[in-house]
Amino acid sequence: MKKPHPILASYIPVVEGLARTFGEFCEVVLHDLRELPSTIIAIHHGHVSGRSLDAPITNLGLKILRSGKHHQDFILNYENKSVKDKMIKSSSIFIKDENQQEIGCLCINLDVTHLTMAETMLKSINSISQHEGQASTEESFATTISGLMEQIIEECIKKIGKPIPLMQKEEKMSFISLLDEAGLFQIKGAVQQIAELLSVSKYTIYNYIEKIEKNANRV
């Protein structure tokens, strides 16, 4: 093998630096495109692809050189399926001489097999879905009892679609029904608070709840 071009020689420390920065799952390779077919002049973490020094150029490299499409600066983030049982993400950066002719290629091959498996597992853990027949669930976290009550009240007001002062009797009953369904009246003092909001007595609230329960039982 002849001495590499000075420009290519300057990239040899880059190969090691990148490989050591990104770790053992990152293979970094330097090709001398003037030395077909055995083009590799520097490689670190070659276990990713199973290659070593003087290994040949890839089929993609040959195809690019033959087609003339190598007159671009780089090909980034493409999937490489050539290594069995591994998922490899690759990037190829072309190196030019003083006459703007491609003389080499710096390739980064990242084994993302374990990352992809972890991503799949994380997606499964993070997935939000409900089983068929399961009621829709909306849960809010409150830090105080009063905060919890305010959350429930505001949510029920939104469902009615009117502020409390504009609610008619039937809407107030629907509002109370929603509050009851949400479990608000299981909280001590809730009946009195709603009575004050609606400007009625707490006994009126109890009467509304009784009517609502009776209507529900008829259905």
The mean per-residue pLDDT over the stretch 8-30 comes to: 95
In sequence order, the 6+-apart residues with CB closer than 8 A to the CB of 204 are: 195, 198
Whether residue 66 has pLDDT greater than 90: no
Q: Where are the alpha helices (DSSP H) in the chain?
A: 6-9, 12-22, 59-67, 113-126, 145-160, 169-181, 190-198, 202-218
Is 58 within 8 Å of 49 (Cβ atoms)? no
Which of 62-66, 90-94, 114-118, 208-212 comes out lowest in average pLDDT? 62-66
Whether residue 153 has pLDDT greater than 90: yes
The mean per-residue pLDDT over the stretch 11-22 comes to: 96
Residue given tokens 């069995």 in the structure block: 84
DSSP 8-state assignment for residue 52: -
Q: Which helix (H) or strand (E) holds 90?
A: strand 88-96
Burial (CB < 10 A; 0-12, 13-18, 19+), residue 136, is: exposed
Count CB atoms within 10 A of the CB of residue 120. 10
DSSP 8-state assignment for residue 166: G
pLDDT attached to residue 112: 92
CA distance 219 to 217: 5
pLDDT attached to residue 164: 92
Whether residue 34 has pLDDT greater than 60: yes
Q: Using pLDDT thresholds of 50, 70 and 90, give the confidence band for residue 24.
A: very high
Give the three-state DSSP class for 26.
strand
Return the CATH fold of 6-117.
Beta-Lactamase (3.30.450)
pLDDT digits (tens, 9 = 90+) for 136-145: 556 667 788 8
Q: Using pLDDT thresholds of 50, 70 and 90, give the confidence band for residue 6.
A: very high
